[in-house]
């Protein structure tokens, strides 16, 4: 490992941290750094390569944001293995809990907020709530195998969820217990940059990219019963759509 970093080529043009980044990428591409390999601490890397810790930190931050490296809280930085990335196919409605369990992962949540609040203008418009009406507002960090995956902020009409503190691991299971079932949903997916607070909660570098997903869920009668805004780590989470060709149009 030490000899490997002694031989990283920093020649070329451009900022030094980008040359270091390219050198690490090249080592991974040729198999010298296998998936799951732990990188030495930043200080050791800087001394070994002969650059500043700032240079090392910037190179690692970019590689992490691109999914080439992955940080594990309390353990360090590792070369991402294929299994470190999760693909979510956009075919059917599933809850985070159901999806992670189906993959053999252990999901759990850390609640940031659970309570009845007055609906914002956006929530009232989406959920067709009268001005001054209330929503059950839920915010949490979603984990899989103790790794933070996403931030999730949900609003539900207060009349279908008047006791948000009682919600357990699965929101959809809690709704089903009340006779409320999600029938269909629309989702809008965009790229975004995490705020400092969001990045800290997800344990990624400041200004890391993420997938922003806005979901509106409807029951069988067509009533909007869920408005969720989620932020998924793009370094480990992929959304995949399967398309079929049609000659129409």
What confidence category does residue 65 fall into, taking pLDDT thresholds of 50, 70 and 90?
Answer: confident
Side-chain half-sphere exposure of 170, counting CA atoms within 13 A? 17
What confidence category does residue 147 fall into, taking pLDDT thresholds of 50, 70 and 90?
Answer: confident
Whether the pLDDT of residue 84 is over 70: the answer is: no
Please tell me the predicted confidence (pLDDT) of residue 49: 86
**CB-CB contact of 164 with 136 (8 Å):** yes
Mean pLDDT in residue range 163-178? 90
Q: What is the 3-state secondary structure (H, E, C) of 112-152?
A: EEEEEEECCHHHHHHHCCCCCCEEEEEEEEEEECCEEEEEE
What confidence category does residue 224 fall into, taking pLDDT thresholds of 50, 70 and 90?
Answer: very high
Whether the pLDDT of residue 166 is over 80: the answer is: yes
- Residue 26: φ, ψ to 5°: -65, -40
For residues 122 and 101, the model is more confident at 122
Q: Alpha carbon of 14 to those of 18, 59, 145, 201: distances in Å? A: 7, 13, 39, 32
Whether the pLDDT of residue 195 is over 60: the answer is: yes
- Residue 217: φ, ψ to 5°: -105, 145
Q: Is residue 138 classed exposed, middle or buried when 0-12, 13-18 and 19+ CB atoms within 10 A define those classes?
A: buried
Domains of the chain from N-terminus onward: 16-79 (1.10.10.10), 86-240 (3.40.1410.10)
Q: 11-25, 41-55, 183-197, 214-228: which has the minimum mean pLDDT?
A: 11-25
Alpha-carbon distance 36 to 111, whole Å? 30
Please tell me the predicted confidence (pLDDT) of residue 7: 63
> Whole-number mean pLDDT of the chain?
86
Please tell me the predicted confidence (pLDDT) of residue 112: 97
**CB-CB contact of 59 with 43 (8 Å):** no
Closest CA to 32 of 50, 5, 72, 71: 5
Maximum distance among all alpha carbons in the chain?
Answer: 67
Alpha-carbon distance 31 to 37, whole Å? 11
């Amino acid at each position: 490992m030490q000899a490997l970093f002694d031989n990283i080529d920093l020649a070329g043009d451009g900022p030094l941290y980008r040359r270091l980044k390219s050198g690490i990428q090249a080592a991974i591409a040729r198999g010298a750094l296998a998936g799951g390999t732990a990188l030495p601490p930043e200080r050791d890397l800087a001394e070994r390569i002969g650059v500043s810790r700032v240079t090392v930190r910037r190179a690692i931050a970019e590689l992490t944001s691109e999914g080439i490296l992955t940080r594990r809280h309390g353990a360090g930085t590792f070369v991402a293995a294929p299994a470190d990335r999760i693909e979510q196919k956009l075919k059917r409605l599933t809850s985070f809990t159901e999806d992670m369990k189906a993959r053999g992962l252990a999901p759990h949540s850390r609640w940031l907020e659970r309570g009845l609040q007055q609906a914002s203008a956006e929530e009232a418009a989406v959920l067709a709530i009268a001005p001054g009406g209330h929503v059950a507002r839920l915010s949490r960090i979603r984990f899989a195998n103790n790794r933070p995956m996403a931030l999730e902020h949900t609003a539900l009409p207060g009349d279908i969820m008047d006791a948000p503190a009682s919600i357990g691991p699965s929101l959809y299971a809690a709704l089903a217990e009340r006779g409320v079932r999600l029938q269909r949903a629309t989702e809008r997916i965009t790229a975004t940059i995490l705020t400092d607070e969001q990045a800290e909660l997800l344990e990624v570098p400041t200004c890391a990219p993420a997938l922003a997903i806005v979901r509106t869920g409807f029951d069988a009668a067509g009533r909007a019963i869920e408005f969720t805004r989620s932020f998924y780590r793009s370094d480990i989470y992929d959304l995949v759509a399967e398309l079929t060709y049609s000659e129409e149009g």
